[in-house]
Copies of this chain bind each other. A is one copy, B any other.
Amino acid sequence: MIASPYLLYLGAAVDPLTVKTARGIAQWRPDRCLGQLRLPGATVTLGLEDLDVAEAARRGARTLVIGEANAGGRLSPDAIPVVLAALEAGMDVASGLHQKLSDVPAIREAALRLVRRLTDVREPPADLTVGKGVPRAGHRLLTVGTDCSVGKMYASLALERDMRAAGLRADFRATGQTGILITGEGAPVDAVIADFISGAVEAVSPARHDDGWDIIEGQGSLFHPSYAGVTLGLIHGAQPDALVLCHEPGRPHMRGVPGHAVPDLAVCLERNLEAARLTNPAVIAVGVALNTSALAPGAALELCAGVSEALGLPCQDPVAHGTHLIVDRLKSCFAPPLSVASAGR
């Protein structure tokens, strides 16, 4: 668990894309964010209060989060003195970069000396085991996708928000780096040893007995020739009761692999259900989440209506429309037996 509240380090960012991770944290967990730290020259802001390390520490910041990703995923030299200052001020440091924090000798030494925690969220937990496929208690919803980067994390977080608003217990379970920084825990399933994919997901969403839901962040796609193995292991480990299919319309081909067509939505959904039945034969689909950010609002609504009609499922853009229709469907499909009986009278 990464301790909050966070101080989000943005460096001297001038390109909003380089602070995507920090923006995700600020958007979905504003309560975990105490402020942002920017260097001279930065033009990007998350709308948080600008704090330096000393002031953030004084106000109780527990972790400096490296929220800037430069090309190559390396820690920029500018960041190193800030990281060292944060450690000296009593804070832990967390990063989603490729380069490990502890690979910088000065940082490693300071953290050891000061007994602070360095968290590299690309590093999987050390104590993983193989998945067992044994049915476990609790409800689980998994987001799956036609492709990589179609909005599975955003859909999952929107579902958590909207399920809570609808009176359900719901907890986002992170399986990727940004998700782990957002929620403070999870496992990067694409970075675990191949034998442990399903086991990592079983560990991320253990049995629960409070009638609540785990909303498990999906990864990749069964139709992506590079990453489908990760996706299948994730599906099996999740043992989902419910799937939400995520899709971004208009892609010319699967991400990064020209020549590989994006699958048809109905075919993709059926293949995901088929895969999920191995560890939960009762799995059903409860909705479709579209990323319509490239469309005009009217066209987006029209597209959602068409997909909804074609698949017989509620279809929404989680960012533009929320996910209340999908949550309604989920509630009606998983209503407790007593309520069903009452409704029938």
List residues of chain A with CB under 8 Å of any chain B CB. 130-135, 189-199, 222-223, 225-234, 236, 257, 259-260, 271, 274-275, 278-279
Contacts and interface: CB of A to CB of B under 8 A. Distances in A.
A258 to B, nearest CB: 9
Nearest to A260: B133
27 contacts: A130-B227, A132-B257, A133-B225, A133-B226, A134-B257, A135-B259, A189-B194, A190-B194, A191-B193, A192-B193, A192-B194, A193-B194, A194-B197, A194-B230, A195-B226, A195-B230, A197-B229, A198-B225, A198-B229, A222-B232, A223-B278, A225-B279, A227-B233, A228-B233, A228-B275, A229-B229, A229-B231
A181 B138 CA distance: 44
A232 B199 CA distance: 16
A31 B195 CA distance: 33
Contacts of A131: 225-226
B193 A193 contact: yes
Given A225-B133, A230-B229, A190 B198 contact: no
Contacts of A135: 259
A229 B260 contact: no
Q: Which of A194, A278, A279 has the most CB of B within 10 A?
A: A194
Contact of A226 (B130, B189, B222): B130
Given A132-B225, A190-B193, A229-B234, 8 more contacts: A134-B259, A190-B194, A191-B193, A198-B226, A222-B232, A228-B233, A229-B230, A260-B278
B195 A278 contact: no
B133 A233 contact: no
Contacts of A225: 131-133, 198, 236, 278-279
A281 to B, nearest CB: 11
A192 B191 CA distance: 9
Nearest to A130: B226
Contacts of A222: 232
Contacts of A196: 194
